[in-house]
């Protein structure tokens, strides 16, 4: 027990999360308890927060992710690590620009009217006004981030890091510019990367179209899901080994409607088993076709523009929206006899992850990162254990993606973001890549320089997050102390977006992995197992939950039952259960503290002054502290929370407090002091174990107990004391608790009124066990409202007595005088009658061959399960009737 002032006993009767949470978060932040200073004498622990979008607001995924990070950070801080949880936000290029453009549209203006510089000023204003919303909400969750070190992907330091990385990669030949097919969003008007495309299954069609062979009655049948792109066809490909079409390779086809001549080519890309085995080749509108076109030196005909409108190359269909073009073109194909058939076909359609518009594969000149040289060391780092994924199964997913990685398109057609540090000389065409704007051309000396208008993909800057936030490219003391960081906590849906980019970037620029472990958690789903989304309207706002149930309840609900890598279903019943747990802690603590008004910690009670219950609860606490720590080490945070829940609710509140009451209310001062000491010490330790999970309520109660220090979050993490482990005490208590549970069960089953004292006969044959029960028989009497008689033998069982057997004793509870036996017997007989009637109905169904043959199997199984349940109930009631002698 730590020393300190007398406990504060003025606890309100009911727990008010709102008042407690606001008070203590302000206290923590004012006193800089979250702030980490570099200390070479301390072992570092560092987590960098996955930066939420500056446009964002807290959703359940954020709440889970940040709760897990906070638990780990608070735990390590209490263990004495130099713990830094580094927060920040991402500039979110597409989303943020869209927000400001929406504002301008409401004013009847556009970004083009403002011009680039004025538009960017407007975006910075928006960021300053609204960008702090999510960090404010993270505070309400209880996040113990070092807000003094908060970063932003476009702050000066992170921007310097981006320029440094771009220039270095360019100089190594790992950044290049070229024409290629990229994913274009016609609404956001920018390219997006492959991993930012959401592929959604949509109902569509397969259109089978005749492509006539020139100067012949023969034709090739083509199957396509996108007939509008056929206007840009430049060839039809077949597999070299496909005998059906071997005679056509090298011949010419007439492209329907467009009436252009196109060749038949042979290429191994074609799958002879898919569709008709002949594939239309449109190099400007499909990435695979683009590669086929490169191999065969085919032209690139662009028939859809950046607004998803048909171009001049589309002939008379120019100016039409792509979907209207499809409708009219199919109609013409049918009218002219080219349409063979149309089959229904569900297929995955790519959508922009920001605005849900169907993306358009688009040929354009973009900047790319050459990925193979960067991916190889990142692959090896996972294989040789430099980076460990938890759960381990995600290693395979990571390796599969990295081993099949394509070059990364990093340019985006936006104004908000890190502008590409490339200038073009209008006089000689020189390309100048530099961190600082050049005054003149390095080749010809001309001053007609123009910077590339594009900005970098948002993931380019967030991929540098673990070291740019610590000061790189400068050699800061923070970078030396905290890098590599300890663990990354992130959802299973972001491995490719972010984790992989950080790993290869860290290895390329720091020669070390950015983190030792990656703790992957699942998604928060609704009660039906669906992803929460605006379109489904099934989202739950964490701030609403915090206001109704408290942050601690939300945090505890999110972590209990959670296992690494697995999804979690949100149930309000579980949330209510977490709130009930918080109330249980409050009420038990209030009882304890009210009974500490005359208590000042002094010498630790030892030896004979300790009761069996004292030794038992102290021993159990040591095991709980060990188990919780072990599970936190393994990232089994849900299991750690479950162990704490069971110990706090059942063993401490329901058992120890009840067993301590007689001594707290008694006149023996020494007994009272011992009970107070063990009660306060165990409660304080339990609060310290619970603190990472439920920071607010634990701080409030801990401050009311005798303690040292300013805050529970800086209290030493409880370490098991071997001296306090007492296995015999635990085994002896198990014997008594089993007897108490059995008596309580009898009272419940027999409807014995709570206030009535029961006579209890315990037949205990073993001498040692009998001595134990005799010594601590007061526990049984206190917790069963009974008068106990302990006997070594019985000539005959008491009449009309309920009976139970435990490992240590036979238990008899004579019921005469406790209950009205006739009335109880009549009630039970009536229950048997009702059960017989219900069973007759069910058995009638189950013996009916018509029902068994026609009813669905699951319906039949439900009836059989119901029969088994009712039969079990009937037997239990008949057993009770036998106890009553009926």
| Tens digit of each residue's pLDDT (9 = 90 or more) over 306-360 | 999 999 999 999 999 999 999 999 999 999 999 999 998 887 888 887 788 888 8
Q: What is the pLDDT of residues 855-875, one digit of tens each?
A: 888 888 888 888 888 888 788
Q: What is the pLDDT of residues 69-121, one digit of tens each?
A: 999 999 999 999 999 999 999 998 888 998 898 899 999 999 999 999 999 99
Token pair for 486: 């300890």
The whole-model pTM stands at 0.86
695 CB-near residues (< 8 Å, 6+ apart) = 24, 70, 74, 142, 144, 552, 555, 713
The helix/strand/coil state of 567 is coil
Q: To the nearest 10°, the Cα dihedral for 278, 284, 285, 291? A: 60
Per-residue pLDDT, averaged over 680-684, amounts to 98
The answer, yes or no, to whether residue 758 has pLDDT greater than 60, is yes
How many angstroms separate the CA atoms of 454 and 706, rounded? 61
838 CB-near residues (< 8 Å, 6+ apart) = 870
How many angstroms separate the CA atoms of 446 and 427, rounded? 6
The helix/strand/coil state of 450 is strand
Report the candidate in 18, 17, 60 with the shortest Cα–Cα distance to residue 539. 60
**Percent helix, strand and coil across the chain, each rounded to 5?**
50, 20, 35
pLDDT on residue 4: 46
Percent of the chain with pLDDT over 70: 98
pLDDT on residue 834: 84
Token pair for 612: 């069996």
Directed axis angle between helix 542-549 and helix 133-141, to 10°? Answer: 40
How many angstroms separate the CA atoms of 143 and 128, rounded? 21
pLDDT on residue 586: 98
How many angstroms separate the CA atoms of 673 and 655, rounded? 19
How many angstroms separate the CA atoms of 855 and 853, rounded? 6
Residues of the binding site? 534
pLDDT on residue 20: 94
Cis peptide before 487 (omega within 30 of 0): no
pLDDT on residue 533: 78
How many angstroms separate the CA atoms of 402 and 406, rounded? 9
Report the candidate in 341, 324, 343, 336 with the shortest Cα–Cα distance to residue 256. 336
pLDDT on residue 849: 85
Size of the chain in residues: 886
The answer, yes or no, to whether residue 2 has pLDDT greater than 60, is no
Report the candidate in 521, 635, 632 with the shortest Cα–Cα distance to residue 568. 521
**How would you class 833 by CB atoms within 10 Å of its CB: exposed for 0-12, middle for 13-18, buried for 19 or more?**
exposed
| DSSP secondary structure letters along 155-224 | SHHHHHHHHHHHHHHHHTT-EEEEEEEEEEETTTTEEE-GGGEEEEEEEEEEEEEEEEBTTSS-EEEEEE
Residues of the binding site for ATP? 534
More confident residue, 589 or 10: 589
Residue that is written with structure tokens 């496909």 in the block: 242
Q: What is the pLDDT of residues 168-177, one digit of tens each?
A: 999 999 999 9
Q: What is the pLDDT of residues 779-816, one digit of tens each?
A: 999 999 999 999 999 888 788 888 888 999 999 998 88
pLDDT on residue 9: 59
pLDDT on residue 170: 97
Q: To the nearest 10°, the Cα dihedral for 5, 9, 10, 12? A: 130
How many angstroms separate the CA atoms of 352 and 203, rounded? 18
């Amino acid at each position: 027990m730590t020393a300190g002032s007398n406990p504060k006993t003025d606890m309100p009767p009911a727990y008010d999360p709102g008042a407690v949470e606001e008070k203590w978060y302000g206290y923590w932040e004012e006193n800089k308890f979250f702030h980490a200073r570099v200390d070479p004498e301390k072992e570092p622990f560092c987590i960098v927060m996955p930066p939420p979008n500056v446009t964002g607001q807290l959703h359940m995924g954020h709440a889970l992710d940040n709760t897990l990070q906070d638990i780990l950070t608070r735990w390590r801080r209490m263990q004495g690590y130099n713990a830094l949880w580094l927060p920040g936000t991402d500039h979110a290029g597409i989303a943020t620009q869209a927000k400001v453009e929406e504002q301008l549209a409401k004013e009847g203006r556009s970004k083009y009217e403002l011009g680039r510089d004025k538009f960017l000023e407007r975006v910075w204003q928006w960021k300053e006004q609204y960008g702090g919303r999510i960090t404010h909400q993270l505070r309400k969750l209880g996040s113990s981030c070092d807000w003094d070190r908060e970063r932003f992907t476009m702050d000066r330091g992170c921007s310097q890091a981006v320029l440094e990385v771009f220039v270095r990669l360019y100089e190594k030949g790992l950044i290049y510019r070229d024409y290629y097919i990229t994913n274009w969003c016609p609404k956001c008007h920018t390219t997006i990367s492959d991993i930012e495309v959401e592929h959604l299954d949509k109902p569509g069609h397969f259109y089978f179209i005749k492509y006539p062979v020139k100067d012949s009655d023969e034709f090739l049948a083509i199957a396509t899901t996108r007939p509008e792109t056929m206007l840009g066809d430049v060839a039809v490909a077949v597999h070299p080994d496909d005998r059906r079409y071997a005679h056509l390779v090298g011949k010419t086809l007439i492209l329907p409607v467009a009436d252009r001549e196109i060749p038949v080519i042979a290429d191994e890309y074609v799958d002879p088993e898919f569709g008709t085995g002949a594939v239309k080749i449109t190099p400007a509108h499909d990435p695979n076709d683009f590669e086929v076109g490169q191999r065969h030196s085919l032209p690139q005909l662009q028939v859809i523009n950046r607004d998803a409108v048909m171009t001049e190359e589309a002939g008379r269909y120019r100016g039409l929206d792509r979907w209207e073009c499809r409708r009219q073109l199919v109609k013409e194909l049918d009218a002219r006899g080219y349409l063979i058939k149309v089959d229904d076909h569900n297929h995955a359609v790519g959508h922009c992850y920001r605005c849900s518009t169907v993306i358009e594969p688009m040929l354009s000149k973009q900047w790319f990162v050459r990925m193979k040289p960067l991916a190889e060391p990142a692959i090896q780092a996972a294989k040789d254990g430099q980076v460990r994924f938890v759960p381990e199964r995600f290693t395979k997913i990571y390796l599969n993606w990295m081993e099949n990685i394509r070059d990364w398109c990093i340019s985006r057609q936006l104004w908000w973001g890190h502008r590409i540090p490339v200038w073009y000389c209008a006089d000689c065409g020189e390309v100048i890549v530099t961190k600082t704007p050049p005054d003149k051309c390095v080749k010809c000396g001309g001053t007609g320089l123009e910077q590339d208008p594009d900005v970098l993909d948002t993931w380019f800057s967030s991929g540098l997050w673990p070291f740019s936030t610590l000061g790189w490219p400068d050699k800061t003391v923070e970078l030396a102390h905290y890098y590599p960081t300890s663990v990354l906590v992130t959802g299973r849906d972001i491995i490719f977006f972010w984790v992989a980019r950080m790993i290869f970037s860290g290895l390329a620029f720091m020669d070390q992995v950015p983190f030792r472990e990656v703790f992957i958690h699942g998604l928060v789903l609704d009660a039906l197992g669906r992803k929460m989304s605006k379109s489904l309207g099934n989202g739950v706002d964490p701030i609403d939950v915090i206001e109704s149930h408290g942050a601690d309840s939300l945090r505890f609900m999110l972590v209990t039952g959670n296992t690494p890598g697995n999804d979690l279903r949100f149930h309000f019943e579980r949330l209510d259960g977490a709130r009930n747990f918080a109330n249980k802690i409050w009420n038990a603590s209030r009882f304890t503290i009210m009974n500490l008004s005359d208590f000042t910690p002094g010498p630790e009670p030892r030896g004979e002054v300790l009761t069996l219950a004292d030794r038992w609860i102290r021993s159990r606490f040591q095991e709980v502290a060990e188990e919780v720590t072990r599970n936190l080490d393994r990232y089994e945070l849900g299991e750690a929370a479950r162990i704490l829940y069971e110990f706090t609710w059942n063993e401490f509140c329901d058992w120890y407090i009840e067993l301590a009451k007689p001594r707290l209310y008694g006149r023996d001062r020494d007994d009272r002091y011992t009970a107070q000491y063990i009660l306060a010490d165990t409660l304080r330790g339990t609060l310290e174990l619970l603190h990472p999970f439920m920071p607010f309520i634990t701080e409030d109660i801990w401050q009311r107990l005798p303690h040292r220090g300013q805050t529970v979050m800086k209290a030493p993490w409880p370490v098991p004391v071997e001296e306090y482990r007492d296995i015999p005490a635990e085994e002896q208590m198990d014997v008594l608790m089993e007897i108490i549970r059995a008596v309580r069960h009898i009272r419940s089953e027999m409807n014995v009124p709570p206030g009535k004292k029961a006579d209890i006969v315990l037949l205990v044959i073993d001498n040692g066990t009998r001595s134990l029960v005799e010594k601590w028989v007061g526990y049984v009497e206190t917790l069963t409202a009974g008068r106990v008689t302990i006997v070594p033998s019985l000539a005959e069982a008491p009449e009309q007595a309920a009976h139970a057997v435990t490992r240590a004793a036979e238990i008899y509870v004579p019921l005469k005088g406790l209950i009205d036996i006739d009335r109880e017997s009549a009630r039970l007989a009536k229950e048997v009658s009702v059960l017989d009637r219900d069973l007759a109905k069910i058995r009638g169904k189950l013996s009916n061959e018509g029902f068994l043959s026609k009813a669905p199997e699951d319906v039949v199984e439900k009836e059989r399960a119901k029969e088994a349940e009712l039969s079990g109930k009937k037997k239990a009631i008949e057993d009770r009737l036998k106890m009553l002698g009926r």
